[in-house]
């Protein structure tokens, strides 16, 4: 599986966006279904403004997608790859360390 330089940079960009605790919390809350911005702010403990800023980045990278219903805007994971990647990482952290580490 050979990647172009652009593809590598694209993947790095997605990982980078997942690499901030506030953004990752937002993302995890969105994994199981659409969540409104206000609810994300409350769940994460971050300000509404900060959540919106992060949501814009996650949306631009196609990690989340937005859908307006009336006054509220609901965000959800863009696709199953995102869910799988985060799920794998959760497994990685949950699992006891493997043999031979330092």
Q: Over the range 37-64, which residues count as b (16 or more CB within 10 Å of their CB) and which as e?
A: beebbeebebeeeebeebbebbeebebb
Could you tell which of DNA, its own copies, none binds residue 42, using a CB distance below 5 to 8 A set by kind? none
Task: End-to-end CA distance of the chain: give it in Å, rounded.
Answer: 30
Contact status, residue 18 vs residue 24, Cβ threshold 8 Å: yes
Residues 23-82 that bind its own copies (CB under 8 A): 23-25, 28, 62, 65, 78-79, 81-82
Between 28 and 50, CB nearer to its own copies? 28
Between 60 and 96, CB nearer to DNA? 60
Could you tell which of DNA, its own copies, none binds residue 37, using a CB distance below 5 to 8 A set by kind? DNA
78, 46, 28, 71 alpha-carbon torsion, rounded to 10°: -40
Residue 70 beta carbon to its own copies: minimum distance, rounded to whole angstroms: 19
Q: Which residues bind DNA (CB under 7 A)?
A: 16-17, 19-23, 36-38, 46-57, 66, 68, 70-73
């Amino acid at each position: 599986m050979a990647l172009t330089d652009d593809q590598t940079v694209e993947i790095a960009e997605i990982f980078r966006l997942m690499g901030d605790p506030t953004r990752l919390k937002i993302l995890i809350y969105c994994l199981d279904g659409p969540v409104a911005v206000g609810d994300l702010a409350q769940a994460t403990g971050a300000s509404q403004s900060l959540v919106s800023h992060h949501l814009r980045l996650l949306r631009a990278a196609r990690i989340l997608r937005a859908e307006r219903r009336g006054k509220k805007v609901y965000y959800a994971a863009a696709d199953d790859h995102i869910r799988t990647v985060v799920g794998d990482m959760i497994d990685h952290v949950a699992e006891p360390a493997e043999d031979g580490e330092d």
